Structure 1
Amino acid sequence: MKHQFWFLFVVVLFLSSCNDDNKLRMEAQKKEAQKNEIIFININKGWVFQSAPINAVAENSMSFWPQWRTFMDELSQKPKSSISAFQKKSKVLTKKALELKDNIPGQYNNPAIKSRISILITNVSLLDMYLHLTQIPHKKVVKQVAEINLELIALQREMDKIDVKSKIPVEAGESEMLQMIRDTARAIPSSMPPSQNTPRVE
């Protein structure tokens, strides 16, 4: 009889312990779900990109720079369903940003534009990294979106500067002078003819 009593006592104790564990697990899951909901709401609210071109030059460049057009299109499509949707989008944005670097049109293929694109890639990559951390720092994600917007504006202003400079008429001889500045080897010939005023040694 004593053995039955102890067996019954152990079973009740075990079931009670299991119930407590289940309650704790359910509470932890509930807290985690609430935390993820707050993260999602904050990211969703802050995910506002400057996806429309800010000037005519940036808009026109979409017709001959397909990578630029694709990147801006991706920015305009906001994820809606979940944090994982934002994670997928950030991965796609990183890929599209990298494609900008490898396909710069001739008129924009200069150090200023390359530098702006590199900074943009870095910022998009940071956004992707933050979104794939175990504990997503949602404030940093929102701040990173703002940083990307600033870099987008800077890149488009740089494109506009290049366009304005290209429309300034070139004065006679200016293009030759600029070419000589760029190519110093051409500017100073290696074998100069002797000067007429050089005294001759007999």
Structure 2
Amino acid sequence: MKYKIAVFFSLVFLLLSCKNDNQKRIAENKKEMQRREVIFTNIEKGWVFYDTPVTEASEKSIASWNEWRIFLAELAQKPKKTIGAFQKKSEALSKKVMALNDNIPFEYNKPQIKSRISTLITKVRLLDLFIHLDNIPDKKVTLLVSEINLELVSLQRQMDKIVEKSKIPLEEGESDLLKMMDTTRAIPNTPIIDPNLPRVE
């Protein structure tokens, strides 16, 4: 009899504890859903890119620089509905920004532009990394979006400076001076050996 009572109480205890676990699990799931909704709304509000050219040079480069045009078009399309859509978008942005290094137009193929592209690539890849974390840092993601915007403006202004600089006419003799400063055209600095000097072998 005592054995039956003990089994009965242990079954009742087990059922009550399972019920409490289910309630705890439901409450935790609810909190997790609310937290994800907050993260989603924060990212959705902060996901605003400067997808239109800021400078005249940048606008003209869209016609000749296909990768730049594709990257700006990708920035213009804002994802909707889920975090998964933002993750896919950041992945696509990461691929498109890597392509910017491939076919830089000759006039922009300069260290100033390349360094800004490298910085832009780093920021976009960081965005892709942070948005794919299990616990997404929404503040970090929105901060990276604003930093990417600053890099975009910096890159476009540098393009404009290069175009403006190319419009300045060269002074007389300046082209000869530039040729003389070109290290690729320099005579190699090897010692001249006099064939008349005795050699030790």
- With the length of structure 1 as denominator, give the TM-score of the two structures: 0.88
Q: Could you tell me the percent identity over the aligned residues?
A: 53
- Give the SS at the match of 1:43: helix
Question: Are 2:104 and 1:104 equivalent residues in the alignment?
Answer: yes
Tell me which moved more, 112-121 or 89-98.
Answer: 89-98
* AA aligned opposite 1:90: S
Equivalent residue, structure 1, for 2:197? none
The within-5 A match list for 1:13-162 is: 13-162=13-162
- Give the SS at the match of 1:92: helix
* AA aligned opposite 2:91: K
Asked if structure 2 preserves the Cα contact closer than 8 Å seen for 1:54 and 1:153, the reply is: yes
Q: Which runs of 5+ in 2 are unaligned?
A: 191-201
CA RMSD of aligned residues (A): 1.9
CA distances 1:26-54 after superposition (whole Å, capped 9, x unpaired) = 10000000001000000100110011100
* AA aligned opposite 1:44: E
Shift of 1:72: 0.5
Change (3 A) 1:185 1:77: closer
Separation in structure 2 between the aligned mates of residue 168 and residue 159 of structure 1, nearest angstrom: 15
Shift of 1:166: 1.4
Separation in structure 2 between the aligned mates of residue 143 and residue 183 of structure 1, nearest angstrom: 42
Tell me which moved more, 176-185 or 126-135.
Answer: 176-185
- Give the SS at the match of 2:104: coil
Change (3 A) 1:101 1:185: closer
CA distances 1:137-183 after superposition (whole Å, capped 9, x unpaired) = 11111111010000000000000111111122223332222111113
* AA aligned opposite 1:23: Q
Shift of 1:126: 1.2
Shift of 1:7: 2.6
Separation in structure 2 between the aligned mates of residue 186 and residue 98 of structure 1, nearest angstrom: 35
Question: Are 2:8 and 1:8 equivalent residues in the alignment?
Answer: yes
Alignment length (residue pairs): 190
Separation in structure 1 between the aligned mates of residue 31 and residue 147 of structure 2, nearest angstrom: 31
Separation in structure 2 between the aligned mates of residue 12 and residue 150 of structure 1, nearest angstrom: 63
Shift of 1:89: 1.0
Separation in structure 1 between the aligned mates of residue 58 and residue 73 of structure 2, nearest angstrom: 13
- Give the SS at the match of 1:78: coil
Asked if structure 2 preserves the Cα contact closer than 8 Å seen for 1:181 and 1:187, the reply is: no
Equivalent residue, structure 2, for 1:193? none
Shift of 1:134: 1.9
Change (3 A) 1:182 1:5: same
CA distances 1:82-122 after superposition (whole Å, capped 9, x unpaired) = 11111111111111111101221111111000000001011
